[in-house]
Structure 1
């Protein structure tokens, strides 16, 4: 098993992809340990020599900032904070995202500006390495002051409260402590606030969606290439000359990818093609390319975020400063999560249009891509399904980031709603996967109806593998089964 040293360098989406793929364990780097210990000592010394109110450390929270808390109650203050803020509801957060939340929270605390104890960060590392995943809920965060409710649920098991998933069972925190021989932690001043303040719920969803976006962007090019060949399209729109004179990077890369997929195809070089193809085929480089460029920009925002300190207040031992500011505000993430919804929804929108064209009974293909159409409805209703999902994505693209609502008695009077942007972005991702699976089902059916002519070696290799899980549709059958198998294929087949 490989080990990733948290605090040893920049965390990127691709590094996280590698950590997941290798099932790496985490370890705090020596530098991270030194930073954490230095910051904690600074705060302890500060409190022992200073009785002035410091927000969230010896005061109440939010609207209760003016309430001074005596030194003997500072531990209880942090304990109470976790209990009162564990106010999540709704569906459970997927386990893979909870695991990302742990990683990202550890990363943020490793910079030594949060004044948490080393034992606290190490216990989070132990959670990650042992597969102990706190039960967290999707609803409850306003995206400022950070992801309070979800992160409170993430932190509850540290103090022996709440529930966790462990070895595919949901058990109480007290049970996992017994199994692992862990004692519940007694939080010191500021620790509870450091744990629940931050953007790790939004960030984890964003990273998860970006990993999916990378995969689905490549699959969008693959399915489009099969559709282009199956619909007897021209190669002209994918030649480099047109793209060089409008050199958006994503457009150039998409045209190159489509050309690569179609290299060596008998179908693409056929004579007698129509002069122009519909936009959903001809404009794939422009549409897919715009989404690629958007995804790259969004990834840059998230990579800045996951290498940041996002709790409050921030502690600066070298400057003898404790600053109460607003790094927990999720606006950069809220805006880009909404943007990611748009970029992914457009990949689905144009995919559904290609599916519609393929079943239309034109260009020598039978209506609904089935023999004996009429007796058989063929793939007619796959397009209905894709269309309904596309419309759902349009509805989900209504931006969360333009919304706000007052909380904490007016103290927290503008929030990002980034958590809602995050959860709906995952729904858009999952919907895109289904839309692409339907196009794959449709395009491969159309391609087989072109026999004996063949597509490119690369497409034929993919088709042969696909036919091992989804057979050619000779007559009507339950298509939900085929769609499910297509989704599984997208997740198992490795694109070059």
Structure 2
């Protein structure tokens, strides 16, 4: 059970809720804060205090005062009018993350909602009712208005949801679980949609998958080194300490640990004096990629425990403040930065693929073909990898440098953070396919060298991967192999490794 306070949610807890369907409930202190905050809102409404989005219109309509009798309709109209998302729906994992993160943001008690609203978010989450949320349509300020509006529809028994693997009307799913549709009260529609939970949810999933892929990329790069009889001297600890980047030193240490008992790794001068950059500079490049991952992790950890609503209600001071915590710039920058690390992980992997298949660059069979000439082997797999890394270069363009004014220039600068996050996740999926291609080629290369000479860690990984993709003994439809191996990399927990004291731990 994950307990929400609004301030203490961790990545491990998010992962357990998203991927393992662990249940969630509110901490007692969160319930107390939410109820006290709501009482303040109700009192301010009774006192006829003018408050943005509570008894005024939205955006450019902020100067239009709404009659007390229309306050509930104001919130309903907000959700209906703002549910303008288009395109393919987010995955159910991302929708689960959105439900969790929105509930956590409201749990601090600054948003003025009733306790029943936060419990409704958790009821959908715990029951596996996932609103269908189109991916496109958010500017990333005032938060993720369109995506979160579609999320809010599900609470109200409107729109479509995914439930037990089936798409259906939200009202039908709520009825199956015995959950009453929520009727929004003053402030609650705005509180549901004025936040960064769509971009942050995509960002968290991207980060979790990118961390895993980078570890796998190191393991696969080590196998490629074995296939090419790479030189270990370039990974010497003194060399990397001399430069001083921690992530670079960590990658070098992990690679040394992976290949320490391999008989396929060479020393400087045995076969050649030095390797090409795609081998020799693995710690420098992947270390820098880790820096982008770690930066994104830091900003996402702050954001999953942030209050991103507007206005905020401070009960102790009896005040309501309109601000801009919904602006997604911190996450937009973080996701644009992580895109560089994802792109370079794939770029250097593709260059190693080329070294594995190009007969001018190695002493392996041309294109790792079992019958060069008659059979093309891995020739076109390298084409696919090259296409994917080229596509990533286009997607790597920073979304955050763009802004389009909205709401009649009242909202005149936006973050495009959700676009940045979506592109990062798309790039990650491309990168995973590139790394899968490298693994296919690396396994073929080490077979040629002799798998009995492999290090124990790479051999274990090789044996597991061979359960998914068999050896290339003749040309076949390799698309299936690439897809199956990429899916395995995404889902296999045994290949999610970390290095501590020179030893890998799952």
Relative to the length of structure 2, the TM-score reads: 0.95
- 1:231 and 2:220 aligned: no
Is residue 141 of structure 2 the alignment partner of residue 144 of structure 1?
yes
* In structure 2, distance between residues paired with 1:369 and 1:127: 51
1:231-270 equivalence runs, <5 A: 231-269=228-266
For 1:489 and 1:33, how far apart are their aligned partners in 2?
41
Match of 1:83 among 62, 80, 88: 80
Separation of aligned partners in 2, 1:363 and 1:168: 48
Equivalents in 2 of 1:8, 1:425: separation in Å?
26
Q: 1:21 to 1:151 in 2, by over 3 A?
A: closer
Partner of 1:397: 396
Q: What secondary structure is seen at the aligned counterpart in 1 of 2:168?
A: strand
What CA deviation, in whole Å up to 9, does each residue of 1:348-369 have, x standing for no partner?
Answer: 0000000001111133211101
Task: Encode CA deviations 1:260-293: one digit per residue, 9 max, x unaligned.
Answer: 1101111114773210100000000000000112
1:56 partner SS: coil
Any unmatched runs of 5+ in structure 1?
A: none
Determine helix, strand or coil for the equivalent of 2:167.
strand
Shift of 1:21: 5.1
2:434 matched to 1:406? Answer: no
Q: TM-score, normalised by structure 1?
A: 0.97
Q: Give deviations 1:26-82, integer Å, cap 9, x for gaps.
A: 011001100100000011011112x23211110000001111100111011111111
The answer to whether the Cα contact below 8 Å between 1:8 and 1:31 also exists between their aligned partners in 2 is: no
1:382 has 2:361 as partner: no
1:323 is matched with: 321
SS in 1 for 2:453: coil
Q: Which runs of 4+ in 1 moved over 4 A?
A: none
Whether the 8 Å contact between 1:267 and 1:453 is mirrored in structure 2 is no
Q: Distance in 2 between matches of 1:172 and 1:470?
A: 40
C-alpha separation in 2, matches of 1:19 and 1:420? 24
Matched length: 493
Is structure 2 residue 53 aligned with structure 1 residue 53? no
SS of 1:5's equivalent in the other structure is: strand
Counting only pairs closer than 5 Å after superposition, residues 78-477 of structure 1 correspond to structure 2 as 78-269=75-266, 272-361=270-359, 362-451=361-450, 454-477=453-476
Q: Which residue does 2:484 correspond to in 1?
A: 485
Judge which range, 390-399 or 177-186, deviates more. 177-186
Q: Which residue of 1 aligns with 2:503?
A: none
Asked if the contact 1:351/1:436 (under 8 Å) is kept, the reply is yes
- Looking at structure 2, the residues matched to 441 and 452 of structure 1 have their Cα atoms a distance apart, in angstroms, of 14
CA displacement at 1:130 relative to structure 2: 0.2
Question: Deviations for 1:93-135, whole angstroms, at most 9, x for unmatched residues?
Answer: 1110000000000000000000000011101110000001011
360-369 vs 325-334, which moves further = 360-369
Distance 1:141 1:57 in 2: 22
Deviation digits for residues 314-353 of structure 1 (CA, Å, limit 9, x no counterpart): 1100111100000000001111111111111100000000
After superposition, the Cα gap between the structure-2 partners of 1:267 and 1:177, relative to the gap in structure 1 and judged at 3 Å, is closer
Q: What is the rounded CA distance, in whole Å, between the counterparts of 2:341 and 2:112 in structure 1?
A: 39
- Superposition pairs of residues 26-37 of structure 1, within 5 angstroms: 26-37=24-35
In the superposition, relative to structure 1, how do residues 62 and 459 fare at CA in structure 2: closer, same or farther (>3 Å)?
Answer: same
Residue 40 (structure 2) aligns with: 42
The whole-number CA distance in structure 2 between the counterparts of 1:110 and 1:373 is 63
Q: CA RMSD in A?
A: 1.3
Distance 1:165 1:372 in 2: 49
| 8 Å contact kept, 1:249–1:293 | no
